[in-house]
Amino acid sequence: MTIRNLGKLKVSALGAGCMSISANYGAPAKMEEGIKTIRKAYESGVTFFDTAEVYGPYTNEKLVGEALQPFRHKVAIATKFGFEIGAPNITLNSRPEHIKKVAEESLKRLRTDHIDLFYQHRVDPDVPVEDVAGAIKDLIQQGKVLHFGLSEASTATIRKAHAVQPVSAIQSEYSFMERSVEKNGVLDLCEELGIGFVPWGPLGMGYLTGKLNSQTPFDSKLDLRSSFERFTPENLAVNMPIVNLLNRYASNKNATASQIALAWLMAKKPFIVSITGTRNIPHLNENLGAYDVHLSNAEFQELEMEFAKLKVCGARMNEMQMAFCQ
């Protein structure tokens, strides 16, 4: 697999999002299955793995640390800080002392002496982002962190942080059906400043796989999507023309809807590195097969024109989740 740059961090053109193995999309997979899947990704050319302390919480970092330990020096691990875990309600905490505490704990769980990419998981309105960037700068000087990232941050926040400590990557939701970062200036700013972009939910949180429909159940206690407007039975049905569009292109290229969606992201910008999430090897193989699907400029433009005729119904997250995006 070819290499792409997230700022100065070099990673495989497709990465692996590890969250869904442990949390948020239903009951966690067995530890041994998660390890097999992550190691299979590495064997298939993936060198970029994404996790966070809040996934589980903690269990996903432990899984990633164990799975990648045999070849730790050959891969890049991204993890995240920014939540007060254990509080009665979900609260943000990006105070510098908390960031440094989280870094030490994450290093232990990941069985490593450095974090390749350390993201602020959500912007904390109570802590100036300049202070956050300063804390990461200290960790970088100590060799405990190599690169700084922000997740779901606005252009203003990115500029302020970048002025203190260069930002290597921005992670926000982005997919063929979710285009917010094209409209709010974030993707353009990444190009301007030489910052990499890492789409989470590159398959529309599973919707673009074509495997969800209006009858798909979502566990209200274990699956975040159960509270997202876009995943109501009504919106799952009304958004189906988007999947149908991908399927039409897939049938012409001996591919799947998922592969077309991921190939579209790779064709969009050379600094985009998607982190596809899966908990099993067959889905992993399908996702990584997107690397061999090439869209011509004409095909890419035609997809764009066809998508422009469609409407995406339903907010991408619930109000509480969206309140953390700034």
Show which residues are catalytic.
55
Strands 274-277 and 76-81, by their bridges, are unpaired
CA distances from 61 to 56, 92, 99, 201 (A): 9, 19, 16, 19
Dihedral of the alpha carbons of 48, 41, 180, 124, in degrees to the nearest 10: -50
The answer to whether the beta carbons of residues 81 and 110 sit under 8 Å apart is: no
Coil/strand/helix, residue 170: strand
Nearest-angstrom CA–CA distance, 201 and 148:
21
Nearest-angstrom CA–CA distance, 20 and 29:
8
* Complete DSSP assignment for 194-235: T-EEEEESTTGGGGGGT---TT----TTTBGGGG-GGGSHHH
Amino acid at 68: L
* Complete DSSP assignment for 247-291: HHHHHHTT--HHHHHHHHHHHH-TTB-EEEE-SSHHHHHHHHGGG
Q: Radius of gyration of the chain from Cα atoms?
A: 19
Residue among 121, 21, 176, 131 at smallest CA distance from 321: 121
How many CB atoms within 10 Å of residue 125?
13
Any alpha helices (H) in the chain, and if so which ranges? Answer: 19-22, 31-43, 59-68, 96-109, 129-141, 155-164, 180-183, 186-193, 233-238, 240-252, 257-268, 281-288, 297-308, 319-323
Nearest-angstrom CA–CA distance, 190 and 102:
27
